[in-house]
Structure 1
């Protein structure tokens, strides 16, 4: 993959993903984290347009151009699937999101009364512009989209100590994580992974069978990991639950969703903030107060003793 080009790592978070697509002009869509891997959980959120799966990236051999580990490659040039190769680091979260959104904006919507996703003029223009592009060129066009990159970077964690252009989707142990999308298009369940050479077909799938079908695929994928591995995250792409609440007159649901949106807005504000200066000033204030009271040395000794106790317990 090429250099990150200014794309920062973002969290796998329902509030982040929802706000990101709203900033891109997408309407009446939100993300919901799935805390259990079962079909009934997905079905309760119906209509579900697709899911975003986050997992620890295993350094397997280079992908085969003929056979994926599960499913079959869709190599037909006439395939009506929006698929872009991942050409840069750090953008795989947004790329997975768009892999669902841009495949559910018209006749491909999985049915069951679900309206097509309103993707907005910016994404509509991008999709039309790249309609005839091969996957690698479409990936380059995505990585060079200033609008998409700006929306993506708006949710990066603020830090004065990190070079944003060098970030990777790693945890504290140095593991690399990757996002992919699963969505039904034209009656077929597709796995859309920008690190693969083609979309991967997992067979026939409609709105009614999507929950069971995608859970089966995910279970097979998770089974390839060592026993005890739990670092996975699954997010459903669903219709804005506030719309449903207004249509059905469910006041309790509407109030709950409005509270959730306010919490998301607050959390996203915190993500954009750099608190280093505030923490520094607070520490200077505390030190000054202890020094003024004549208790500075006592305070430091007590802190050292507590630290030693914690080290001894480890």
Structure 2
């Protein structure tokens, strides 16, 4: 692989503009604040959800999942890719969801070609193909938060780290599937049509969250829905359309901030503040330097007396 995958945030604006940059049309993400079927239904056409949770490291592998059943036939018949790298599970979950809803969703030329190329591979090779896709990796990385201190491509988790994982849930062929690249196959949670999804998904998520202590609240749930501006235009909801357009502008602004490293700016700002203070004090600069030299000299003399040699 020609490059690494950086960490991106679980954020509706990040996910929405990421898939738009990949060529997906008329789809957006909305953060869900409660496990409420009515809230999901209020969003209109829903293609699935992306769930973020703390991954239980150290668990022994099992022949069957804790909830639902493995559908090994679906591992080859659906687009199911094994997760082969760190930091890309969010994008992988999103792409798995969308590629399995092609027909309902316009996934665009690039993802359609990717699906046609990788679709006949076994899950492990699909995962390798996804992780080696320059287009998908570069698009993903363009939404990573800029940092001058951490090379995310070299970071590996330790046993003491909190590790978080993304998975997708969607209705495919009238079955509710859990798509988790760390599992050996898609997990079936029973019959579910797209129109039933908002009610069938809630108990599945409730059972999953119930596995954790009551004090654990670090979960995030994103709904993948039809662009809410389309419905607002169709029903003539001018206020709703304006709200959605304002939200898009806010997302654009936040995404632009993520791409910038502000350390240099802050450094120049501090230098400007110091310069202004010194100029206001006349010859304060020279005095400040001499005082600093004096304190350093005094500290070294005291250290020598105590037998400490400073480098």
Deviation beyond 6 Å, 4+ runs, structure 1: none
Aligned length: 284
Bigger Cα displacement from structure 2, 157-166 vs 277-286 = 157-166
Provide structure 2 residue ranges, at least 5 long, that are not aligned to the other structure.
288-311
Shift in CA distance, 247/145, structure 1 to aligned 2, threshold 3 Å? same
Equivalent-residue separation in structure 1 for 2:157 and 2:200 (angstroms)? 28
Q: Is the 8 A contact 1:55 1:177 kept in 2?
A: yes
2:100 to 80, 100, 103: 103
For residue 291 of structure 1, report the CA deviation from its aligned partner: 2.5
For residue 287 of structure 1, report the CA deviation from its aligned partner: 1.6
- Residue in 2 that maps onto 1:127: 115
Structure having the higher Rg: 2
Q: Structure 1 residue 204 and structure 2 residue 191: aligned?
A: yes
Q: Please list the CA deviations of residues 54-96 of structure 1 after superposition, one character each: whole Å capped at 9, or x if unmatched.
A: 01111142432x3111100001168632110000000000001
Provide structure 1 residue ranges, at least 5 long, that are not aligned to the other structure.
107-115, 298-314
Q: Please list the CA deviations of residues 173-228 of structure 1 after superposition, one character each: whole Å capped at 9, or x if unmatched.
A: 83111100000000000000000010000000012321121111111111111121
- Residue in 2 that maps onto 1:88: 85
- Residue in 2 that maps onto 1:242: 229
With normalisation by structure 1, the TM-score equals: 0.86
Q: Is the 8 A contact 2:167 2:178 kept in 1?
A: yes
RMSD of aligned alpha carbons = 2.1
Q: Is the 8 A contact 2:75 2:123 kept in 1?
A: no
- Residue in 1 that maps onto 2:139: 151
With normalisation by structure 2, the TM-score equals: 0.87
Give 3-state SS (helix, strand or coil) of 2:73's partner. coil
Shift in CA distance, 79/133, structure 1 to aligned 2, threshold 3 Å? closer
Q: Is the 8 A contact 1:169 1:178 kept in 2?
A: no
Q: Please list the CA deviations of residues 221-263 of structure 1 after superposition, one character each: whole Å capped at 9, or x if unmatched.
A: 1111112110000000000011111122111111111101110
Matches within 5 A, 1:1-314: 5-64=3-62, 66-76=63-73, 80-106=77-103, 116-167=104-155, 174-294=161-281
Higher helix share: 2
